[in-house]
Amino acid sequence: MAKLKFVKRTSNKIGLPPGTLVHIGEKKIDKVRIRIIDYDDQQLTEKEVQNIEECFPFKDEPTVTWINIDGLHDVGLIEKIGTWFDIHPLVLEDIVHTGQRPKLHEFDDYLYIVLKMLYYDDTEAEVRDEQFSLILGKNYVITFQERVGDVFEPVRERIRSGKIRVRKRKADYLAYALIDAVVDNYFAVLEKLGEKIESSEEHLLNNPTPAKLQTIHSLKRVLISLRKSVWPLREVISSMERSETSLIDGSTAVYLKDVYDHAIQVIDTIESFRDFVSGMLDIYLSSLSNKMNEVMKVLTMIATIFIPLTFIAGVYGMNFAHMPELEWYWSYPVIWGIMIILVVGMLAYFKRKKWM
Amino acid sequence: MAKLKFVKRTSNKIGLPPGTLVHIGEKKIDKVRIRIIDYDDQQLTEKEVQNIEECFPFKDEPTVTWINIDGLHDVGLIEKIGTWFDIHPLVLEDIVHTGQRPKLHEFDDYLYIVLKMLYYDDTEAEVRDEQFSLILGKNYVITFQERVGDVFEPVRERIRSGKIRVRKRKADYLAYALIDAVVDNYFAVLEKLGEKIESSEEHLLNNPTPAKLQTIHSLKRVLISLRKSVWPLREVISSMERSETSLIDGSTAVYLKDVYDHAIQVIDTIESFRDFVSGMLDIYLSSLSNKMNEVMKVLTMIATIFIPLTFIAGVYGMNFAHMPELEWYWSYPVIWGIMIILVVGMLAYFKRKKWM
Amino acid sequence: MAKLKFVKRTSNKIGLPPGTLVHIGEKKIDKVRIRIIDYDDQQLTEKEVQNIEECFPFKDEPTVTWINIDGLHDVGLIEKIGTWFDIHPLVLEDIVHTGQRPKLHEFDDYLYIVLKMLYYDDTEAEVRDEQFSLILGKNYVITFQERVGDVFEPVRERIRSGKIRVRKRKADYLAYALIDAVVDNYFAVLEKLGEKIESSEEHLLNNPTPAKLQTIHSLKRVLISLRKSVWPLREVISSMERSETSLIDGSTAVYLKDVYDHAIQVIDTIESFRDFVSGMLDIYLSSLSNKMNEVMKVLTMIATIFIPLTFIAGVYGMNFAHMPELEWYWSYPVIWGIMIILVVGMLAYFKRKKWM
Amino acid sequence: MAKLKFVKRTSNKIGLPPGTLVHIGEKKIDKVRIRIIDYDDQQLTEKEVQNIEECFPFKDEPTVTWINIDGLHDVGLIEKIGTWFDIHPLVLEDIVHTGQRPKLHEFDDYLYIVLKMLYYDDTEAEVRDEQFSLILGKNYVITFQERVGDVFEPVRERIRSGKIRVRKRKADYLAYALIDAVVDNYFAVLEKLGEKIESSEEHLLNNPTPAKLQTIHSLKRVLISLRKSVWPLREVISSMERSETSLIDGSTAVYLKDVYDHAIQVIDTIESFRDFVSGMLDIYLSSLSNKMNEVMKVLTMIATIFIPLTFIAGVYGMNFAHMPELEWYWSYPVIWGIMIILVVGMLAYFKRKKWM
Amino acid sequence: MAKLKFVKRTSNKIGLPPGTLVHIGEKKIDKVRIRIIDYDDQQLTEKEVQNIEECFPFKDEPTVTWINIDGLHDVGLIEKIGTWFDIHPLVLEDIVHTGQRPKLHEFDDYLYIVLKMLYYDDTEAEVRDEQFSLILGKNYVITFQERVGDVFEPVRERIRSGKIRVRKRKADYLAYALIDAVVDNYFAVLEKLGEKIESSEEHLLNNPTPAKLQTIHSLKRVLISLRKSVWPLREVISSMERSETSLIDGSTAVYLKDVYDHAIQVIDTIESFRDFVSGMLDIYLSSLSNKMNEVMKVLTMIATIFIPLTFIAGVYGMNFAHMPELEWYWSYPVIWGIMIILVVGMLAYFKRKKWM
């Protein structure tokens, strides 16, 4: 069952001055991995580096540089990046504190964007999230993920292939392409979740077991937390689009509008799922009533048929000295006749009432 | 039962660069069909062409040209149109990706509008949708549909007849006329849906079978998805009306306002249907309770009448050696008398309680 | 029971060019009736005319002219008015198409206002509506109603009496007075509906029959459709008030504000009624449960008292050869004693449980 | 039970020209009472007058004059005030028509404010309201109440005492002080209502009688009507604060902001009460289910224990000629043994199921 | 159970002039405690003073001064501060009246901020609040709390340590740090509340006792009142951020934005908790139905099996003189055979129905 993970355990953080880097969240990877891709339309460098310092020279190159950090627990490293690229301490704090709402903060020299990457965990039928931070500077993009493995491989492929648009454009287009990849992935997650919902619904009407109720509620909860992750996205992207920063080129705006449309579609789909799952709850509850009705009908029919018959049998089981019927020869078969007529009458009554 | 088709299967699309044309959606037609109508108030040309290139010369004519494409799977063709008419790649991508929300994108030289055409499928009591894209340029309108067969025949008739307004006006009026035809068709769909709802409601109170519940829920779902298709329309049309583009003439605005009113009416009607269908659910559930009450009353009456009588019979079926009543001559008829009085008393009690 | 009249049957309209006059709605009157009142503070002319052409000369008079048309099916007549007074074809179309939402359209030379007149139909406990269109020009007001008989008699009286404000003021004040009369009438309708609701609620708790549920639902539906008729009114009047047209004088604005207040009060009252009727549904449902509880208690008490007694009687009805109690002299009275004690104990238990 | 007093009976008003003074509402007092207080920081005059004309000379004095009218049925008097102080006829109409929503109307020379004064009626556990109208002019405040007795005594005391702020300030501060007194009184009403709600909730769980349901619903209704009275207040006060009229001094704005905060608090509290009362309904309904469960358990236990025993007794009450058990010597005690074991087994089963 | 403490008892306050200092709220501390910290980046003074007058000289020092008052009942002291620092009487009134909604009032020389400090009371599983007022002047911050003991110790530590940012910055940063500490503490409270909710949910499905319902409702209530405390916070902080006062430096805005993000997260979490707790209510109610179903099934199975058997036994308990079966030798075992077959048949039927 989905647990209440609404609150990240932050107790160990309380009281520290703002801007103190403390990694809040599961440590999902052992060693931080740093990858760097540097390109313009002429050339491309891609490598994995051991020391973050190797990335620093790229800062002032006119080429587009994408530094990707997998793993957030090495706060020293994050701090070095912060110092070199002149990032505000509060931004660094948010990067390592995985519990941020999706948001956009604008600074003079860079934009800071936080998103959630979502993964559908098939085995537990749950949606897991990972915090994805992106810093967009003049000629560079720095991204921070909680662990190795992401949804950006296609973007890397496009950069490597060198044929297409991304290589001709600036860092803002790279940032767009990454955000687009994140949002595209939401559709994949929703597709799987939709299948799960559909399969949960089948047989619900016929077999409303308590376990089904559990499933409905855990789906509901997944949808609530999805909504929390996705809803602010809309605001983030539309702020980027409307932003007056010189970091985002006018020609990128139409691409952002496209991502915005996708974000709205994701939100719409989540809302539809919520409506759908509420409907499942209604079906569950009324199926319970239906089953109860059915049980009660069986009880009532049995009781209604046999209780009067038992009474008749009881009457002729009495031991009064003077009960003339007892002596009559045809009494016994007549009584059986009466009882059979009674049963047939009852059954006809139930038929008419549509209980059978 | 209505299936969960909220998410278009897009998995094969994920990771492709933005602007890549991949047809997402069912292939509803074998061969793409291209029709062209070109007119001004003096002359009219209407033909079906085999190669899209035949349409290209019309681009710079001062006459109004309407190019209609039925079938979206031939992405090469779409790409050619895109190149010739200078359409943004993202627009082309949206045209072939049938899962768009209704929307309006404004560009310098053209407007891009996406709507849903709705059809009521009588046999399965479902509403099907089809994506309709419209590009409004200076002197031309290009429309894209998923399959042959649409709601625009009356518009074509009006163009052909040549008597009326449409021939005297520009491409913006043609675009309006097409959108108006789409929205008018919504009323026809709602009419049929309303009939379905009404017929579903009858007898609901008397006969709350589980199948009825299924029907209520599939109506609910149809309404949810209708709402998703129609709600954004309002925004689309009002953006067109307020738009400062030179592509839309001031005198067309009053017509757009009229379509806007219709869109609001459609939305209002859908909301009323939703309220109505929720009411049906309440009736369903309380009918279940009513039936249960009725069943319980029968059981209780039978049990209340016969259980005490059976007890009395049981008492005089005991085999004690010394039970003086057993020997008395009038005991048996007296007991019958007592039992009849008991029954009459019970019935009177039930009458007073209004159980009968 | 209130029918689903949310959608006006418009199928025969679909596909016609915009601005085509087709009367949509019931034909509620045989012959169109045209009445004209023309006045200024000095003089007054009131007459019923046969030909609409008789009204035309008043168009350019400086006096205030009120032309009232009862009956919408004579589209030729409407068209003539449209031509003479230079009304936009879409407005004429809306006038004869009785399914409009209340709205205000501003044109350079006139305002077009649509409202709903409501009537409470006592016999069927339903609220009926009639479309009321008003065109406010420089010196004239033209009104269109579906049938003879309206709520404007008091306004006419005030014009005739000549003593009061209305005669000294312009056409905009007349338009205000008519709208005010329509809104005032809503209060009368709500008063009657309130009485109906109150009388429906009585005894609901004691006697929750399915018929009561039907009543609750038809009240709910009436309120939904009322809301649809009245809600947009607020917007209409506030648009008039804020309008920058020269057709409405500054001194009339305070009167419009007053009507606006009334419209808000009407909406508030409808919302309160809705809350109230929802409450009735809750009461209905919990009364059902209460009744069920009561039935179950009777069953349980009877069964709990007599089933053990019957068992005891059954024990001593057994035919074992060696049952010493059967032979004892006091057995029979002792058994009766035991049984009476049992019954008294049970009753005490039920008393304590507050079941009796 | 709280009655549906949502609609004031206004039938006798319909059709009258706007601005006609008709007193709508209960006549709560016999004779209209007129009190006048006139002060500046130097002097104070307070008297009760018989003729409204005695108040007129104060109009142009530079001192602050507060004219208070208790009783609204003397429309002649209201009309005289209207003429002398040059009040718009629609304002006069609203003053005597007690069914106004709280509102603020701004005129060039005065502001017109309507509020509701609330009283908690202990005996019927209901909240009654009274319409309070206030006209704020340059140097005067005129207030209209439905009856003698109000919440303004403390304000009068402060004026009389002469020590404090109110005497040094203008009419706008007096208006503020009166509104503040009205809003303060809401807290007193809410306090009493809160006590009523709390006392209604106790024992609800143990004893869900239908009368309790009635109470819950009448509380709900009281809260709905309270909300209607208080909700618009927020808008009224914030309009006053933001108003650009010269009638309100800048230094009074901070006081109005304070009242605004109080109004928000009142609204918040009403919302909390509504949530609370909805919760009570949930408790009521689930208590019903609980009771039903308990009744059913008793029935089931009794039936489950005794029906099998009765069957066993019945078997050995059969009269077959050849039933060997009947003759055995120990049969009877053995049967008793079996029955006792059965009962113990059943009880253990119920224990395990937690039914006992 | 959580009590209805929505309304602070204010009856003794009603009628007093605005700006009168009356302490409303529990007196949570005996003696007021005054602490003062004065610092700039060079030096630091920290002491506890007996007389408020000792604080006054700091007012015009260029150093940052933080005066903290624990205990609100000594209104004389509050008044002295008010006079010396020139605080508006209404602000003083709000400081001692503990029932304020979180809010921000801007004055020329200072800002007044009210927040709620929350504490989770483990023993009663309740959330308690305490009113925290903060006055931010040019070089000073004055804070008022209801009792000794707060969440600001870490802030004091940071000031004392002298190494970090806070010492280099102005009073606005101190105010920020205090607000940040309050909001940070909300996360700790939510964490504990989340644990309580989770532990309440376990076993709910298996054991829906009325006590559980009580718990759910008191959780609901706690969440309602939390929401009331936290919701306005968002507005308060965003007003500070957007404020044009010279009291807040531009460089502090980014810190306020950070607190704003936290406030949104707190609100989001509360909403999620509310959704979660509603879900618990659904589970509770459907578990009740489930239990009832189970009880009914047991009853029905017992009755359905034994009532027909008892009837058969009854038939052969009749005393008719002529019942041929009674004499047959194998009758008795045959009857047993029939009865066993009946039982097996029934059980098979129940199995098929999935009742067992």
Tens-digit pLDDT profile for residues C120-143 = 887 777 888 899 999 999 899 999
CB contact under 8 A, A335 and E314: no
Rounded-to-10 torsion of CA A178, A182, A185, A186: -150
Mean predicted confidence (pLDDT) in C152-181:
86
CB contact under 8 A, D191 and E16: no
Q: What is the mean pLDDT of chain D?
A: 87
Q: E4 to chain D: which residues are within 8 Å by CB?
A: 194, 197-198, 276
Tens-digit pLDDT profile for residues E74-105 = 889 999 999 999 999 899 999 998 888 899 99
Q: Which of A101-110, A346-355, D82-91, E156-165 is predicted least confidently?
A: E156-165
- What pLDDT was estimated at residue D2? 38
Percentage of chain B exceeding pLDDT 70: 95
Q: E6 to chain D: which residues are within 8 Å by CB?
A: 190, 194, 269, 272-273, 276
CB contact under 8 A, B7 and A205: no
Exposure string of D166-204, with b = 16+ CB inside 10 Å and e = fewer, is: bbebbbbbbbbbbbbbbbbbbbbbbbbbbebbeebbeeb
Tens-digit pLDDT profile for residues B32-62 = 899 999 998 888 989 999 888 888 888 888 8
Q: How many residues does chain B have?
A: 356
Q: How far apart are CA B155 and CA D180, in angstroms?
A: 64
Residue of D nearest to E299 (CA): D300
Residue C126 forms beta bridges with which residues? C121
Mean predicted confidence (pLDDT) in E237-250:
88
- The answer to whether the CB of B70 falls within 8 A of the CB of B108 is no
Mean predicted confidence (pLDDT) in A336-347:
94
Tens-digit pLDDT profile for residues B99-130 = 888 999 999 899 999 999 998 887 777 888 89
Distance between alpha carbon B24 and the CA centroid of its chain, in Å?
22
Q: D288 to chain C: which residues are within 8 Å by CB?
A: 286, 289-290, 293
Give the Å distances, CA to CA, from D353 to C303, D173, D287, D301, E294: 22, 71, 21, 11, 10
Tens-digit pLDDT profile for residues A71-86 = 988 889 999 999 999 9
* Chains in contact with B via at least 3 Cβ–Cβ pairs below 8 Å: A, C
CB contact under 8 A, E166 and A17: yes
Query: Coil, helix or strand for A127?
Result: strand
- What pLDDT was estimated at residue C177? 92
State the pLDDT confidence band at D104, using cuts at 50, 70 and 90: very high
Nearest Cβ partner for E224 among D198, D264, D275: D275
CB contact under 8 A, C303 and B308: no
Of the candidates E70, E55, E262, the residue with the CA atom closest to the CA atom of residue E150: E70
Residue C23 to chain D, least CA–CA distance (Å): 31
Nearest Cβ partner for D320 among E7, E214, E316: E316
Which distant-in-sequence residues (6+ apart) come within 8 Å of C195 by Cβ?
A: none
Tens-digit pLDDT profile for residues B1-40 = 334 454 555 555 666 777 777 777 777 777 889 999 999 8
Rounded-to-10 torsion of CA A336, A337, A342, A343: 70
Q: E279 to chain A: which residues are within 8 Å by CB?
A: 217, 220-221
CB contact under 8 A, E285 and D287: no
- What pLDDT was estimated at residue E245? 86
Nearest Cβ partner for C88 among B198, B254, B321: B254
- What pLDDT was estimated at residue C163? 66
Q: How far apart are CA A239 and CA A256, in angstroms?
A: 10
Tens-digit pLDDT profile for residues E96-148 = 988 888 999 999 899 999 999 998 887 777 888 899 999 999 899 999 999 88
Residue B167: DSSP 8-state: G
Tens-digit pLDDT profile for residues B176-233 = 999 999 999 999 899 999 888 888 887 777 777 777 888 888 888 889 888 888 899 9
Check pLDDT > 80 for residue A2.
no
CB atoms within 10 A of CB C14: 14
Give the mutation candidate from A295, A328, A340, A342 for the E interface (greatest E CB count, under 10 A): A295
Q: How far apart are CA B241 and CA B238, in angstroms?
A: 5
Place of tokens 């509506």: C129
Check pLDDT > 90 for residue A285.
no
CB contact under 8 A, A332 and E323: yes
Mean predicted confidence (pLDDT) in B327-344:
93
Q: E205 to chain A: which residues are within 8 Å by CB?
A: 210, 213-214
State the pLDDT confidence band at A186, using cuts at 50, 70 and 90: very high
Residue of D nearest to C285 (CA): D285
Q: What is the mean pLDDT of chain B?
A: 87
Q: A310 to chain B: which residues are within 8 Å by CB?
A: 306, 310
Of the candidates A136, A237, A251, the residue with the CA atom closest to the CA atom of residue A186: A237
Does the predicted interface ipTM exceed a cut of 0.85? no
Of the candidates C274, C187, C183, C197, the residue with the CA atom closest to the CA atom of residue C232: C183
- The answer to whether the CB of A184 falls within 8 A of the CB of A169 is no
Query: Coil, helix or strand for B104?
Result: strand
Give the mutation candidate from C174, C282, C318 for the D interface (greatest D CB count, under 10 A): C318
Q: What is the mean pLDDT of chain C?
A: 86
- The answer to whether the CB of C342 falls within 8 A of the CB of C313 is no
Residue B229 to chain A, least CA–CA distance (Å): 11
Tens-digit pLDDT profile for residues A11-69 = 556 667 777 777 777 777 778 899 999 998 888 899 999 888 888 888 888 899 999 99
CB contact under 8 A, B311 and C316: no
Residue of E nearest to A92 (CA): E258
Which is more confidently placed, B171 or A10? B171
Give the mutation candidate from C296, C306, C319, C338 for the B interface (greatest B CB count, under 10 A): C306
Residue of E nearest to A99 (CA): E265
CB contact under 8 A, A181 and B15: yes
Exposure string of E295-310, with b = 16+ CB inside 10 Å and e = fewer, is: bbbbbbbbbbbbbbbb
CB contact under 8 A, B354 and C207: yes
CB contact under 8 A, C154 and D16: yes
Q: How far apart are CA E95 and CA B49, in angstroms?
A: 81
User: Residue B274 burial (CB < 10 Å; 0-12/13-18/19+)?
Assistant: middle
Q: Quick one: which H or E segment has residue C261? A: helix C250-315
Nearest Cβ partner for E194 among A7, A228, A331: A7
Residue C308 to chain B, least CA–CA distance (Å): 9
Mean predicted confidence (pLDDT) in D90-94:
91
CB contact under 8 A, B255 and C100: no
Residue of C nearest to B174 (CA): C17
State how beta strands B33-39 and E44-49 pair: unpaired
DSSP string, E157-206: HHHHH--SGGGGS-HHHHHHHHHHHHHHHHHHHHHHHHHHHHHHHTTTTT
- The answer to whether the CB of C135 falls within 8 A of the CB of C85 is yes
Q: pTM of the entire structure?
A: 0.83
For residue A292, give both structure tokens: 């109860």
Residue E124: DSSP 8-state: T
Residue D167 to chain C, least CA–CA distance (Å): 34
Mean predicted confidence (pLDDT) in B88-109:
90
Of the candidates B271, B157, B278, the residue with the CA atom closest to the CA atom of residue B216: B278
Exposure string of C281-315, with b = 16+ CB inside 10 Å and e = fewer, is: bbbbbbbbbbbbbebbbbbbbbbbbbbbbbbbbbb
Which is more confidently placed, A254 or D4? A254
CB contact under 8 A, B311 and C314: no
Q: Quick one: which H or E segment has residue C155? A: helix C153-161
Nearest Cβ partner for E18 among D205, D258, D283: D258
Q: E15 to chain D: which residues are within 8 Å by CB?
A: 153-155, 157, 181, 184
Please, what sign has the CA dihedral across residues D283, D288, D289, D290?
positive
Query: Coil, helix or strand for D353?
Result: coil
- What pLDDT was estimated at residue E111? 94
Of the candidates C3, C88, C72, the residue with the CA atom closest to the CA atom of residue C34: C72
- What pLDDT was estimated at residue C61? 85
For residue B344, give both structure tokens: 């009459």
Check pLDDT > 60 for residue A7.
no
CB contact under 8 A, C295 and B292: no
DSSP string, D95-163: HHBTTPPSEEEE-SS-EEEEEEEEEEETTTTEEEEEEEEEEE-SSEEEEEESSS--S-HHHHHHHHH--
State the pLDDT confidence band at A3, using cuts at 50, 70 and 90: very low
Give the mutation candidate from E241, E274, E319, E350 for the A interface (greatest A CB count, under 10 A): E319
Q: How far apart are CA A198 and CA C45, in angstroms?
A: 72
Query: Coil, helix or strand for A112?
Result: strand
Check pLDDT > 50 for residue D248.
yes
CB contact under 8 A, C205 and D210: yes
* Chains in contact with A via at least 3 Cβ–Cβ pairs below 8 Å: B, E
Q: D346 to chain C: which residues are within 8 Å by CB?
A: none
Percentage of chain E exceeding pLDDT 70: 95
- The answer to whether the CB of D166 falls within 8 A of the CB of D152 is no
Q: B207 to chain A: which residues are within 8 Å by CB?
A: 354
CB contact under 8 A, A317 and E320: no
Q: D152 to chain E: which residues are within 8 Å by CB?
A: none
- The answer to whether the CB of B116 falls within 8 A of the CB of B229 is yes
- What pLDDT was estimated at residue C145? 93
Place of tokens 């919504």: B186
Nearest Cβ partner for E188 among A14, A303, A314: A14
Residue of A nearest to E155 (CA): A15
In order of their start, the domains of chain D are: 16-287 (3.30.460.20), 289-352 (1.20.58.340)
